[in-house]
């Protein structure tokens, strides 16, 4: 009986050892290892001998199969839904994670891949919240956010985030290639700040493949990470430079290298523009906010153009409030803030975005507007505004539903 028990234990261990494996992806820059028993992925940057280790995959998903082809792993995950995870070390030494599932699969949130552990308290989180800043890894005061990337109202300003060492040299960054139903959520692991991608439903289903791209740096710090994102996003969105855009929009010439000013109260009088011209300011881009009175005179924009200055105005199409939607008579269109950016009389329910249960999408700034529903109102407002104020530009506040 003892011999039989020992044999069964030995066979079990041999069987498990046969399944357990450390898979390797590598090139001249990176050495990536994935332990399918511990469900841990590590990345060693050969150039600077820096190793980044992920937190193990969440317990509610088990690994049922792993296959390798070249520098690519195909992993089958079983849990609340069946997932396919592809991990590829690209020709550019980026580590790409692609998550696949039945497009009709229903879930709440998926946190895959896991967060990388921050090595120690000498590191910084490159936080793309607000204007962006470096957050000390052991910080305990700054409020960690939901990291949503589909709206700037209460989320990130850009769909990426990173970590860098105290020498501001080595680090890594993650770029969400599918940012429209996703987040880069910050959290504290063992008292140190880190982050992980979080995937959300699209129309309450999985709907499409999800992808996040990690890039690792041996030098350059946060500056290199910012430049990498600019390079990535400009190519993805076919961004053209201001000089190139100037060919079709000549007014841009007056904005490049100009002083950008928001003017209020008496500064909305042309005499203020004349004063700064006489003071030696040759180039200025002057804007005003139609949510606040007094409004400039009717020919304000043309008078600015005569001085060689660029004219513009503030605008916003992201939030609505019930109070701004109450129908009210307008005795005189030219009275008060008649071009108020949040004024949609009687249309609150018609222009706001809602979930399947009828609840609104909202944050501390207001209730999100549905871009498709509000478009006719935008056209009406601009057509009413431009004959009186022929602006050369509109400053659009908040990224909104990107």
Residue at token pair 């100037």:
246
> What pLDDT does residue 286 have?
97
Structure tokens at 270: 């042309």
Residue 346 predicted with pLDDT over 80: yes
The answer to whether the beta carbons of residues 361 and 368 sit under 8 Å apart is yes
Tens of pLDDT, residues 103-120 = 999 999 999 999 999 999
Confidence of residue 10 (pLDDT cuts 50, 70, 90): very low
Rg of the chain on CA atoms, in Å: 27
The answer to whether the beta carbons of residues 198 and 183 sit under 8 Å apart is yes
The answer to whether the beta carbons of residues 165 and 216 sit under 8 Å apart is no
> What pLDDT does residue 358 have?
87
Whole-angstrom distance, CA of residue 93 vs CA of residue 173: 13
The answer to whether the beta carbons of residues 228 and 216 sit under 8 Å apart is no
Counts for the chain of helices (H) and strands (E), in that order: 8, 23
Residue 256 has a CB neighbour count (10 Å cut-off) of 13
Residue 134 predicted with pLDDT over 50: yes
Confidence of residue 13 (pLDDT cuts 50, 70, 90): very low
The answer to whether the beta carbons of residues 282 and 259 sit under 8 Å apart is no
Confidence of residue 332 (pLDDT cuts 50, 70, 90): low
Decide which of 96 and 384 is more confident.
96
Residue 8 predicted with pLDDT over 50: no
Query: Given 3-state DSSP classes, what are the helix, strand and coil percentages for the chain, each rounded to the nearest 5?
Result: 20, 35, 45
Which residues are CB-neighbours of 31 under 8 A, at least 6 positions away? Answer: 24, 25, 43, 44, 46
Whole-angstrom distance, CA of residue 258 vs CA of residue 252: 10
> What pLDDT does residue 371 have?
86
Whole-angstrom distance, CA of residue 145 vs CA of residue 273: 42
Confidence of residue 366 (pLDDT cuts 50, 70, 90): confident
Segments making up each domain of the chain, as ranges: 22-236, 242-396
Task: Report residue 396: phi and psi, to 5°.
Answer: -95, 115
Closest alpha carbon to 139 in 118, 153, 157, 154: 118
Please state the three-class secondary structure of 125-186 as a single string: EEECECCCEEEECCCCCCCCCCCECCCCCCCECCCEEEEECCCCCCEEEEEECCCCCEEEEE
Q: 22-236: which CATH topology?
A: Beta-galactosidase; Chain A, domain 5 (2.70.98)
- Dihedral of CA atoms 193, 196, 202, 204 in degrees, nearest 10, equals -80
pTM: 0.82
8-state DSSP, 24: E
């Amino acid at each position: 009986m003892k011999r039989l028990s020992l044999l069964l234990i030995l066979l079990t261990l041999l069987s498990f050892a046969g399944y357990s494996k450390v898979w390797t992806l590598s090139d001249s820059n990176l050495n990536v290892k994935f332990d399918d028993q511990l469900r841990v992925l590590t990345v060693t940057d050969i150039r600077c001998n820096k190793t980044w280790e992920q937190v193990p995959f969440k317990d509610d998903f088990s690994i049922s199969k792993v296959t390798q082809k070249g520098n690519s792993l195909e992993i089958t995950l079983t849990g609340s839904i069946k997932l396919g995870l592809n991990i590829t070390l690209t020709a550019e030494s980026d580590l790409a994670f692609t998550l696949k599932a039945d497009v009709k699969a229903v879930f709440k949130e998926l946190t895959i891949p896991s967060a990388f552990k921050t090595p120690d308290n000498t590191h910084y989180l490159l936080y793309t919240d607000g204007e962006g800043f470096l957050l000390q890894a052991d910080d305990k005061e700054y409020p960690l956010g939901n990291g949503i990337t589909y709206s700037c109202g209460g989320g990130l300003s850009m769909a990426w985030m990173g970590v860098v060492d105290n020498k501001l040299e080595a680090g890594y960054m993650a770029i969400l290639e599918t940012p429209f139903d996703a987040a880069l959520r910050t959290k504290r692991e063992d008292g140190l700040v880190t982050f992980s991608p979080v995937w959300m439903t699209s129309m309450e289903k999985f709907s499409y493949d999800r992808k996040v791209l990690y890039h690792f740096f041996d030098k350059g710090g946060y500056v290199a990470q910012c430049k990498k994102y600019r390079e990535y996003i400009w190519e993805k969105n076919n961004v053209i430079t201001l000089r190139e855009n100037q060919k079709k929009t000549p007014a841009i010439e007056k904005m490049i290298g100009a002083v950008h000013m928001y003017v209020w109260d008496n500064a909305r009088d042309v005499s203020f523009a004349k004063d700064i011209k006489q003071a030696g300011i040759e180039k200025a881009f002057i804007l005003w906010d139609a949510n606040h009175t007094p409004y400039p005179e009717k020919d304000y924009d043309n008078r600015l153009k005569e001085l060689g200055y660029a004219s513009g105005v503030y605008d916003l199409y992201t939030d609505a409030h019930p109070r701004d939607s109450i129908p009210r008579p307008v005795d005189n269109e030219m009275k008060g803030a008649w071009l108020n950016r949040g004024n949609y009389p009687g249309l609150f329910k018609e222009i706001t975005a809602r979930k399947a249960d009828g609840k609104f999408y909202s944050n501390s700034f207001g209730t999100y507007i549905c871009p498709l529903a509000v478009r006719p109102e935008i056209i009406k407002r601009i057509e009413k505004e431009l004959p009186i104020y022929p602006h050369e530009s509109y400053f659009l506040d908040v990224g909104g539903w990107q």
